[in-house]
Amino acid sequence: MTPSGSARTRRLPRTRGGAGGLGSAQRLIPGLGLVPFALYVLIFLLIPTVLALTTGFFNRSGAFTWDNVAALVDPTVLSTFGNSLWISLLTAALGALIGAVICYALLSFSPTSRLRASVEAISSVLAQFGGVMLAFAFIATIGVQGLLTVLLKDVFGFALYPGEIWLYQMPGLILPYLYFQIPLMVLTFMPALSGLKPAWTEANATLGGTSWTFWRRVGIPVLAPAFAGGFLLLFANSFSAYATAAALISQGSQIVPLQIRTALISETVLGRENLAGALALGMIVIMIVLMLGYSALQARTARWQK
């Protein structure tokens, strides 16, 4: 008979910090890559949001006051919010409609075609092309002495500015905003439009439905949440835009971001301190409502893309 000690396999005792500790370290290392992003969100999103939510309720001496928030119902401030709302609604509606038409035209091309890939690549660039560069591009093109303005006047005798110089006023923001709104809608709406399954079209044809029947009963109901979500995203993008308007509109504070700049520079607006915080609070409330609606619509759209 063999001794029991030699017949049995001896188990080595587990040491703490061995495989278990190595696994914890392996799970921790990928999380370190999120640290720069977390710091970015903390410094440029969370802290400014907290400051905007709190400073509007205090005066310069640090005492609590409702005067800043009460300024939101002042006729001047209400007019500023009204201007921001109508310019955002108009450019979001036009950008969503034109972008959806472009997406529908691209749907007839293969996803791997050069034309479709080129349009999507250009849209990715133009959607981020804003601010002072965009304002300068429009001033150099259709400004008072812009290339197109002079060409139309000298060659065709057409005056682009027969009266007021509309480029440097509220109507002048429409074209620059559409410049980046339309490409953003193409990037947002194209995945949803591409998500329409060919089986749905075949089922509609098998049941004797026409093309109009498909769009009325399948296509439009499925794409409506994605289209509405894209519209809300474009509205939020236009509502928060600052640099392009600041470069074009040199006089007055006709939209909320420019009014916030004026409040920060002058420190007192309408006899109230820290008005910029109250204005930012109003913008944050509107943006939160928009983003909640956009998230809900995106979640509904995702169900059809599975």
- Assess if residue 16 is contained within a domain: no
pLDDT for the residue 131: 84
- Assess if residue 34 is contained within a domain: no
114, 115, 118, 119: CA torsion to nearest 10? -150
pLDDT for the residue 7: 45
Distance, CA of 65 to CA of 55 (rounded, Å)? 10
Choice among 135-139, 198-202, 231-235, 272-276 with the minimum mean pLDDT: 272-276
What are residue 273's DSSP bridge partners? 268
- Is the pLDDT at 5 greater than 60? The verdict is no
- Assess if residue 3 is contained within a domain: no
DSSP letters spanning 89-134: HHHHHHHHHHHHHHHHHHTTS-TTSHHHHHHHHHHHHHTT--THHH
- Quick one: which of 94, 91, 104 has its CA closest to 220? 104
| Mean of pLDDT values over 244-256 | 82
282: containing domain? 39-304
Q: What is the CATH number of the domain that holds 54?
A: 1.10.3720.10
pLDDT for the residue 102: 95
What are residue 296's DSSP bridge partners? none
- Assess if residue 260 is contained within a domain: yes
Specify the pairing of strand 272-273 against strand 268-269.
antiparallel
pLDDT for the residue 1: 47
pLDDT for the residue 195: 82
Distance, CA of 44 to CA of 187 (rounded, Å)? 25
| Ramachandran sector of residue 169 (left: φ over 0; alpha: ψ -120 to 50; beta: rest) | beta
pTM of the entire predicted model: 0.80
Q: What angle do helix axes 132-142 and 147-155 make, rounded to 10 degrees?
A: 10
pLDDT for the residue 302: 67
Phi first, then psi, for residue 273 (nearest 5°) are -95, 155
User: What share of the chain in percent tops pLDDT 90?
Assistant: 25
- Quick one: which of 167, 132, 134 has its CA closest to 149? 167
- The owner of tokens 């004026």 is 262
pLDDT tens profile 216-237 = 888 888 888 889 989 999 999 9
Distance, CA of 88 to CA of 303 (rounded, Å)? 29
- Is the pLDDT at 206 greater than 50? The verdict is yes
| Mean of pLDDT values over 4-8 | 48
pLDDT tens profile 142-192 = 988 889 999 998 888 888 888 778 888 888 899 999 999 999 999 999 988
| Mean of pLDDT values over 131-145 | 90
pLDDT for the residue 303: 66
Instruction: Report which secondary-structure segment, H or E, holds 268.
Output: strand 268-269
- Is the pLDDT at 20 greater than 60? The verdict is no
- Assess if residue 26 is contained within a domain: no
pLDDT tens profile 52-101 = 778 878 777 777 778 778 878 888 888 999 999 999 999 999 999 999 99
| Mean of pLDDT values over 260-278 | 71
Distance, CA of 168 to CA of 166 (rounded, Å)? 5
pLDDT for the residue 220: 86
Which amino acid, residue 104?
Y
- Is the pLDDT at 196 greater than 90? The verdict is no
Q: Are 254 and 242 in contact (CB under 8 A)?
A: no
- Assess if residue 124 is contained within a domain: yes
- Is the pLDDT at 301 greater than 80? The verdict is no
Q: How many domains does the chain have?
A: 1
- Assess if residue 4 is contained within a domain: no
| Mean of pLDDT values over 193-203 | 84
- Assess if residue 277 is contained within a domain: yes
